[in-house]
Homo-oligomer: A and B are copies of this chain.
Amino acid sequence: MCIMESGYIAGFDIGGTKSSVILATRTGELIDRVSARTEIELGPMATLARLIRDTRSIVAARGLSVSDIDGVGVCCGGPLDSASGVILGPANLPGWNPVPVVEIVERGLGRPATLLNDADATALAEFLFGAGRGKQNIVSFTWGTGVGSGIIIGGRLYSGTRGLAGEIGHTTYVPGGRPCGCGKRGCIEAYASGSSIVRIATEGVADGIQTALSRLDEIDGLAVCEAARAGDEFAIEVLKGAARAMGRAVSIAAHAFDPELITLGTMAVHAGDLLLLELLRTVEEEVWPEIRAGLEIVATPLGDRTQDLAAVAAGMARLGGLG
């Protein structure tokens, strides 16, 4: 791998609520970011045209020109086709189907663009800028609203035959168990994700379980964490249950890929104090000692910069033989 240390990368992080342009160096130093609401009702071109305009403004404000940008990374939820650069109707971007985003961005900025899904882009960010620097085999879990994972094998992104590798969050945890957003039942994600935690806590309150959460009009993830930190036993149990389910995901990744490193996103960053002990207990129980011995498991050191750096990393995916 040979990455020049000069030049800049632009990242487009496209979400259902807001979309951002990030400008960074090729070493992952964040220079600027402009965010605005994703105007779903106006269609994809409105948002993309705005991101392209914002890129030009950011660059100009720094006395740079668009030609100083080596690559543009576009990052959003799947489904999408990374090879052809087309977004295929992610759940949070209704109407974005199909959107040939790479073609649009390349035409708009005249720079090479790459589309990756959030999980793959995050894995690449970990490899380039995070705990994965210098490592070859990495599984990087996004652990927020959902449970996804991106995989680096031999220093290259591995996305699978249809771009669906790493969907470990949708392996069965409890046969016939809780309904999952994917339409199946009992998936790890239906127990481990942030939205599952909220759902399980809300159901518990509705069932009349004794908990401080019953005083709230609406329960969110932060409320569950705060209650747990204040010693609420139900909240603690809900989080432990999620941690055990996520421990299973980590255990599966360990046995399938025998990686050097497994990183954990959002929830491990913001609620690691409540989750990681129980998660690692599950890992010690379930993972072969020989595999566990050489395996590092950490909350991502990228912290709150993860999403920005994921978009930037996507912009580097086709530079220097990473893709």
Contacts and interface: CB of A to CB of B under 8 A. Distances in A.
A253 interface: yes
Chain A interface size range: 35 or more
Given A257-B256, A259-B161, A288 B168 contact: no
Contacts of A294: 161-162
A164 interface: yes
A140 interface: no
A162 B291 contact: yes
A136 B161 contact: yes
Contact of A252 (B162, B164, B165, B252): B252
Interface string A134-147: 00110000000000
Count copies of this chain in the complex.
2
B171 A251 contact: yes
A288 B180 CA distance: 11
Interface of A: 79, 136-137, 153-154, 158-168, 170-172, 175, 182-184, 248, 251-253, 255-260, 285-286, 288-291, 294-295
Contact of A164 (B170, B182, B184, B290): B290
A155 to B, nearest CB: 12
A258 B137 contact: no
Contact of A167 (B137, B159, B255, B260): B255
B137 A286 contact: no
A250 to B, nearest CB: 11
10 contacts: A161-B258, A162-B291, A164-B290, A167-B256, A167-B258, A167-B288, A167-B291, A171-B252, A171-B255, A256-B256
